[in-house]
Structure 1
């Protein structure tokens, strides 16, 4: 005998019931089957809701009852030929009339006992089993609707009745053995020995199937639902969850206990007692292998089989010096909880015996607290035991796998993965069998934690980055284009999956948790962007609480830079060409660096100096490898280098400045570049990377332009002043050129002093040959004392700046 159980989603519509019929017919011998069915999808909830309305005296219950009637009668009309419909409709209406009478009584007396609620709830399975049996007959399968009163016998614990197995097993064998028709058994419901209807608790249809399978010594138990077996995590929360091929009974018990909804925990016990294999299958993809739960599953290389979680958890802790070495404390503690029927989900105790902590359902927290404080009233009054401490709004995560005990580093990988994503672990529990590692976290972090752990243990070859990009101007748009062109190759060759989750500019923003398609970001941003600002954007980013989140600031906006601290505190990495934060006061610079290190995230700003050139990373590598930096000097401004390489007798200063602006080399206000302040920020950042606490005012700038060209005045006045000076400048430049030299704006740092000045360099100097908008940086260090380490290349422009930002993003993935 094989027992097949079909859940509510599998029998929710007439079309689905025909799919169930196809599954049943696919078995070699229908005579060797027993089928257990749930109520039509959603019906049990509807019955409970209808009962509650009647209890409140709300006549709306009649409308709900009418909907239930219409749904079941529609199923008759779609599944049964017209010649047979009248008798079946009469039987359905007979059942519904009985239900209506009960609800009318509830409405009149305004009372709904658990006993009555059980009776009302039973109608879902009673109706579905009858209609499905008739649908089977209609399609040539001899079947009958089994009478639940002849099968599972329980006690009188209404709402969650306990099965009396000895009498139940005898009844099941007697009722279902030696029948030539397929029994269609209503799940979830039972009866007392006095004929009173009971229910087995939510998920009880699975339990019914397992009880029947064990009583009949079945060859196997198949549970058909709407997913391809038990998954590595809840697929509603972890999109990349995958089916588990095989599990042991113990692994399945742990996963179901900790929230894997596909199977009801008590289901496994009857099957386990008889070593009956359980197969979890998908009614809508019957060819999929599903999950096999058995005594000896095939060995898997993966140490972790699955991840599950329970939310709405409270941690309850009792502590105090009076507990140390005192016998009977634990017995009294757990006895007080047991007396209040409080279920303990997790236990952890300090090795000093100073405290005991348990995880319980949050709804039981107040009742549990009162019970324990009453039990330890004398000790609390004496001050040797503290009052009970309660932490609410928590969740429990559980890693499950038999092979974990043979694999070192599992706990370390778990905790480091959570830590890198800013998820704090409040409590930990692990049994000596090492089958399960459980940890308690904040409920708000549950989904983020599930995705983080799932990626670490099941998608270790794939690193998913969630990007939030600020700025759709030249650099931002170029970066998005570069990622679009490279995204597939990154996934294929480096297993990096970059998803654009949020995008904003100064006016609007758009979010998509599943990812904004790279090829359509402009269209989506234009059509679906909603009014926003940077404060709203970062708040939304924090609310999404995604793992491996990266904030990419492609602006030069001080308001955006002001959000960095908020983001780092929430364990969100930052990548930016925006120099404002790193070149602000030293306290802010240091605070951001320290905060990133503390939170285990990255704050990368390689493009603050030299656009896409590896200048900051080179300097950092030198220092980390133990080198000592004596001097830094270089041409740090692609704009200024372009200017001095381009100005000539034929091209005046004002013309070249305008060209630099048009090419995207210069800032919209070119005085930022011409004043040397932009270069000053860059040399200051590099000096700070060496450990120098330099401030911007400490950088000595020797301007090469007169004061009236650099003053804060209208742009028209600036251009006028620049043109009036350019003949003087050209005369000086021509004189230098006649000597075989050239002008270069050089920044230097040495012995704690930083300078920006215009230098005359001859052809023998490395700076002389730097052309166009290139940058060149010389590092004189203990190792590179006689011949400085040189970094040289293009130092301005959207393409190279965006490429540098892109490289920082990939650096985080690695």
Structure 2
């Protein structure tokens, strides 16, 4: 939020003022096309800008196209009038063109006036429409007198009107604002290449800055040394934005456009294109040079010697993380994209060899070239100038229409495997030449015909099929968390689908280590011990909201109820969760249903197979039965490894308290054994499985028999451990009662659905010695499922229900499952209208 007294921005999450440096925000034509679009831009400025920021704007919507159409009509009118003004046919044609010119001017003025009326109060609107009327009169006079001489002045009106209108809207509703016509200070030293005189331009800009007001600068236009209006070429407003960053030393430039980032191919042509969240500067520059629809060749030039990051984001979806261009680590350098350009010309001549070839490269900045073979590839528009240049050298030339397709990535031309893969992807496509760019960030194939969308899609699929980057954050660094991390390097190396998983976060109870460029998995715990810092939930969520990855997975190995309360926020952000933590899955019915709903709405995946049975596939088996059309009627078993161990060994000879003390010393029980004896853990596990089977239950619906006498429940742990002998008589009595019936005692969980009635309980039961639940290896869990398909012969899953290795292995199984699902998922790209 903008504050006229302090150059600060308001952080929405903390509602605190935070000082930050100067930033540049550029809004494209589609972002400013209608009054609704402009209101959206005003809200973005309100939320993301500060008073010392710089706003650069393009012309509203298709205003520049309309101005160019006016110019063409005017030129045609002038030609007709000058050729044969007295001929009846010419006179009639001139009259038609004159009427068309006036109608187009009226349409243009009406559209601009409508925007003014919709956005401003009456007095402000009247003032701006009066200025607009003056401009239209000047524009009309120029068109009817000498349109060729005034071409750039005519085209400049669009950005001028856009900046003036936005400044007025901001001044009226947000903060003090003023507009700057870039022609007042932005000087070109080389008009042909749109090169800027930074020294004079910076001086002029500094002189015109106003304190405590937000500046709105026109994009696309500048002036030359003769004080004439110049334009900065195709999509020149992006170039204007980075020029302003260079002049002001801005830390960040955000290009607010109609697509939410830079993609691995043009998403209008390649539906499976994926967002490139971070690109190194040189790679982005090469992408722009070779036809990326968002980045353009000149955009990055002003940032070459500045430590400025460039962001691309969508004004139509400002909360979605876009793409960032800057200096990054190895993960960002692994990004790969495919781009193409049609309508090119391959020019071959003896003048393109050696030294004279270097002069040609300097003159025409070709798309690609090979001076050993004497050819350059240029745009069709350059063909005439190439011919003229060669005529002055008195050499012949052959021209051939061509297209290119290229892979672009950091140092990709030096990677033999990538070059070979690219050639294989084009094995059914006729090619003329393969060559790499001089900077080695692209490898290019020259095609003798247009690069079709089919070819682009096929090559993109072959080159980027394994490219999706998945971030991994591990929360909980106890015994199981440490074991999970120890197993991680080998898993990534050997399991298909985990190749692009990057460990980026380690979260403990009070400290966290977050590294966007990745944490070395082989030494993750050492890095955590050396670099972890204090954090709170808001700081964690703030980072997770803007992570630069295709997908993010949080592995929750904590026992923390407080951490489980963050699941709602995770799912709201589209983050995926693997939870060994039972709290969320066994929370209140209302909370659980809300979590499920939020996860589904945001396409978050929530797996928790280790919440019950450690690594045993009980949750996944229940889901698979349901997915295949089966209906479950009963779930029962022994769900606690601790209670399994205790009652498997308890024979009445050794007092129960002695057995309990032994289990505690071996780490089999919780530090407070009452957590196991209370049955609450088993109760939660039964609830989780019942919900997994599709039943709506709460903890209150499950009867729970506590094995802790009332007198021992609320005392301190130390006192409880001193008084455990008070348990002996109760358990010995229960055991003898069972033995009299040739039975054993086991702590059993049972859920039964029969005739639309549900019963659920966890309790100490007497079981036949031949019962499936009676003969277990100590610490084993056993799960029995009855369903439509498993009635007479129940499905039984049995095995270790606790332990570091099996639990960590179960979490890794969930990780593989979730990554396989994500690697086959294609995110829909929302495009509002790329130019």
Q: Structure 1 residues 251, 648: CA separation in 2 closer, same or farther (over 3 Å shift)? A: farther
Q: Structure 1 residues 247, 158: CA separation in 2 closer, same or farther (over 3 Å shift)? A: closer
Question: What residue number does 1:561 align with?
Answer: 564
Q: Structure 1 residues 609, 116: CA separation in 2 closer, same or farther (over 3 Å shift)? A: same
Q: Distance in 1 between matches of 2:402 and 2:478?
A: 60
Question: What residue number does 1:53 align with?
Answer: 203
TM-score normalised according to structure 2 size: 0.49
Q: Distance in 1 between matches of 2:678 and 2:538?
A: 32
SS in 1 for 2:723: helix
Question: What residue number does 1:404 align with?
Answer: 453
SS in 2 for 1:755: strand
Residue of 470, 473, 478 corresponding to 2:478: 473
Q: Kindly indicate whether residue 695 of structure 2 is the aligned counterpart of residue 700 of structure 1.
A: no
- Asked if the contact 1:251–1:402 (Cα under 8 Å) also holds between the matched residues in 2, the reply is no
Residue of 723, 726, 744 corresponding to 2:725: 723
SS in 1 for 2:594: helix
Q: Distance in 2 between matches of 1:575 and 1:51?
A: 54
Q: Distance in 2 between matches of 1:598 and 1:251?
A: 49
How far off is 1:507 after superposition? 1.6
Gaps of 5+ in 2: 1-187, 209-220, 235-280, 296-324, 347-364, 369-376, 385-398, 420-424, 431-449, 821-835
How far off is 1:558 after superposition? 1.4
How far off is 1:466 after superposition? 1.0
After superposition, residues 330-729 of structure 1 pair within 5 angstroms as 402-405=451-454, 458-461=463-466, 464-490=469-495, 493-494=496-497, 496-649=499-652, 651-709=654-712, 711-729=713-731
TM-score normalised according to structure 1 size: 0.51
- Asked if the contact 1:778–1:789 (Cα under 8 Å) also holds between the matched residues in 2, the reply is yes
How far off is 1:277 after superposition? 6.5
Q: Distance in 2 between matches of 1:772 and 1:794?
A: 9
How far off is 1:402 after superposition? 4.0
Q: Kindly indicate whether residue 795 of structure 2 is the aligned counterpart of residue 789 of structure 1.
A: yes
- Name the structure, 1 or 2, with higher relative contact order (CA <8 Å, separation 6+): 2
- Asked if the contact 1:610–1:636 (Cα under 8 Å) also holds between the matched residues in 2, the reply is yes
- Asked if the contact 2:403–2:451 (Cα under 8 Å) also holds between the matched residues in 1, the reply is no
- Asked if the contact 1:665–1:797 (Cα under 8 Å) also holds between the matched residues in 2, the reply is no
Q: Structure 1 residues 115, 717: CA separation in 2 closer, same or farther (over 3 Å shift)? A: same
Question: What residue number does 1:779 align with?
Answer: 785
Q: Kindly indicate whether residue 118 of structure 2 is the aligned counterpart of residue 116 of structure 1.
A: no
How far off is 1:534 after superposition? 3.2
- More displaced, 783-792 or 234-243? 234-243
Residue of 794, 800, 809 corresponding to 2:806: 800
Q: Structure 1 residues 652, 510: CA separation in 2 closer, same or farther (over 3 Å shift)? A: same
How far off is 1:276 after superposition? 6.8
Q: Distance in 1 between matches of 2:613 and 2:414?
A: 57
C-alpha deviations, 1:166-195, integer Å up to 9, x for none? xxxxxxxxxxxxxxxxxxxxxxxxxxxxxx
- More displaced, 743-752 or 228-237? 228-237
How far off is 1:240 after superposition? 2.7
How far off is 1:620 after superposition? 1.1
After superposition, residues 15-30 of structure 1 pair within 5 angstroms as none
Question: What residue number does 1:742 align with?
Answer: 744
Q: Kindly indicate whether residue 379 of structure 2 is the aligned counterpart of residue 268 of structure 1.
A: yes
SS in 1 for 2:224: helix
How far off is 1:568 after superposition? 0.6
How far off is 1:683 after superposition? 0.8
Residue of 237, 240, 243 corresponding to 2:334: 240
Question: What residue number does 1:756 align with?
Answer: 762
How far off is 1:741 after superposition? 3.1
- Asked if the contact 2:483–2:808 (Cα under 8 Å) also holds between the matched residues in 1, the reply is yes
Gaps of 5+ in 1: 1-37, 59-111, 119-155, 163-224, 253-260, 292-296, 303-400, 411-434, 436-453
- More displaced, 629-638 or 456-465? 456-465
Q: Distance in 1 between matches of 2:594 and 2:429?
A: 44
C-alpha deviations, 1:440-481, integer Å up to 9, x for none? xxxxxxxxxxxxxx8x77432455421111111112111111
SS in 2 for 1:116: coil
Residue of 223, 227, 230 corresponding to 1:158: 230
How far off is 1:159 after superposition? 4.9
